Amino acid sequence: MAQREKVIILGSGPAGLAAAIYTARAQLEPLVITGNELGGQVATTNEVENYPGFPEGLTGPELVERFREQAEKFGARLEFDEAVAVEFREQPPHLVRTHGGEYEADAIIVAVGASPRKLGVPGEKELTGYGVSYCATCDGFFFRGKDVVVVGGGDSALEEGLFLTKFANSVRVIHRRDELRAGPFLQKRAFANDKMSFIWNTVVTAIEGDGKVERVKTRNVVTGEEGELETDGVFIYIGHYPNTDIFKGQLEMDDHGYILVDRFMRTNVEGVFAAGEAADPIYRQVATSAGDGVKAAMQVERYLSEKSGRELVGEEA
């Protein structure tokens, strides 16, 4: 038999844990199903300096731990498990299946986040957080006076590359084609920036360094020529993908798999809300995800209160 809950939060990144804090304070006793990594993407960030309230900065894992402690202080329960299937019904309760069991909930907040697409080359995983990054806004400040490379050719690659020029000594953009996919305005700005240069028809085949990024191996896709570039950092922008596969066919999404929500964080299914990067293809920041989680939590509290009132009126009638 499925375990019954008032509120289930799927995901334990900034959106999920912020939602847990607010729903717990509203005495809704939320159950947080953490996913396969407590904290989501921010847990892999070496240092966080742009989250309000921490002028001295802190590591991603430290920030996640503070979120977790605060949520549990108010009564949120964390289950270190992963949702593997859902059954969203016409009316709640909705069903969530995990590796460890089954749950029914009157309201669900989907905060499963998104993942950056990886190059899948040797050294990438080992040096993530030590020179390999997927977020210039998060980590660019730490590359003041350094030389970095950006991998990609779309809007994100150029936007983040231009941001990096505020700190880095040089930004070399490595792109597998001979022209960019980014919009004309971004291209114009990038080509006009003295700190930016471009390496065309080239892919990164390995990232190397002793405890930190020191160089990348490259291959020209036209000539086959192999090369090596010294660099202090590698910023990878070949796209993100939302972790929303298990919701396909049940929640409305855009063409890229991001969940569609209204301004109240409601999905197309009654009692199901979404927050954070699973529903945000644009900002992807700790602060904005936490804000989304707060909004979703407040709407869940209102939704359950209104539903309880409707049921009470029905019983009296």
Catalytic one of 106, 135, 232, 292: 135
Catalytic one of 81, 138, 280, 292: 138
Catalytic one of 106, 139, 232, 280: 139
CB-count exposure of residue 91 (10 Å: 0-12, 13-18, 19+)? exposed
Q: Tell me if residue 194 is catalytic.
A: no
Q: CA 31 to CA 79: how far, in whole Å?
A: 7
CB-based contacts of 199, cutoff 8 Å, min separation 6? 172, 173, 174, 175, 218, 229
Q: Tell me if residue 81 is catalytic.
A: no
Please count the other Cβ atoms lying within 10 Å of the Cβ belonging to residue 25.
Answer: 16
Q: Tell me if residue 138 is catalytic.
A: yes
Residues forming the active site? 135, 138-139
